[in-house]
Amino acid sequence: MEIQTIKQRFGIIGNSPLLNRAIDIAVQVAPTDLTVLITGESGVGKEVFPKIIHQLSARKHGPYIAVNCGAIPEGTIDSELFGHEKGSFTGAHEARKGYFEVADGGTIFLDEVAELPLSTQVRLLRVLETGEFLKVGSSKVIRTNVRVVAATNVEVSEAIRSGKFRQDLFYRLNTVPIFIPPLRHRKEDIYLTFRKFASDFAEKYRMPPLMLDEGARNLLINYRWQGNIRQLKNITEQISIIEENRDISIDTLKQYLPEEQFSDLPVLYNKEGGGNELSERDLLYKVLFDMKKDINELKKVVVNILKDQKADDQDQEQESNVQLIRQLNEEIDAIHDVGNEIEIRHEKDMHFPEPIQESEVVEESLSLEKKEVEMIRKALNRHNGKRKDAAKELGISERTLYRKIKEYDIN
Domain limits, the chain:
3-181, 184-261, 280-407
Residue-wise over 375-408: b if at least 16 C-beta within 10 A, else e?
bbebbbeeeeeebebbbbbbebeeebbeebbeee
> 290 to each of 125, 266, 379, 402, how far by Cα in Å?
35, 11, 15, 16
Check the CA dihedral 408-269-40-232 and report its sign: negative
What is the 3-state composition of the chain as percent helix, strand, coil, each rounded to the nearest 5? Answer: 55, 10, 35
Alpha-carbon distances, residue 58 vs 1, 22, 24, 31 (angstroms): 15, 20, 18, 6
Q: How many helices (H) and strands (E) does the chain have?
A: 18, 9
| Three-class DSSP category at 143 | strand
Task: Give me the amino acid identity at 199.
Answer: S
Domain 3-181 superfamily per CATH = P-loop containing nucleotide triphosphate hydrolases (3.40.50.300)
How confident is the model at residue 384, as a pLDDT? 85
Please report the pLDDT score of residue 108 as a whole number: 98
Task: Count other C-beta atoms under 10 Å from residue 81's C-beta.
Answer: 23
Q: Among residues 397, 289, 390, which one has the least CA distance to residue 410?
A: 390
Which residues are CB-neighbours of 259 under 8 A, at least 6 positions away?
A: none
Residue 381 belongs to what H/E stretch?
A: helix 368-382
- In sequence order, what are the residues at sequence separation of 6 or more whose Cβ sits closer than 8 angstroms to the Cβ of residue 80? 67, 72, 98, 99
What's CA 285's distance to the chain center, in Å? Answer: 23
Q: How far apart are CA 159 and CA 127, in angstroms?
A: 21
Q: How far out from the chain centre does Cα 304 lie?
A: 23
- Residues of the chain below pLDDT 50: 265-279, 310-313, 317, 343-344, 346-366
Spatial CA neighbour of 125 closest among 152, 155, 150, 96:
150
Distance CA 97, CA 49 (A): 26
Give the closest residue to 14 by CA, choosing from 26, 4, 24.
4
CA distance 227 to 19: 17
Q: What is residue 257's DSSP assignment? A: S
- Which CATH code is given to the segment(s) 184-261? 1.10.8.60
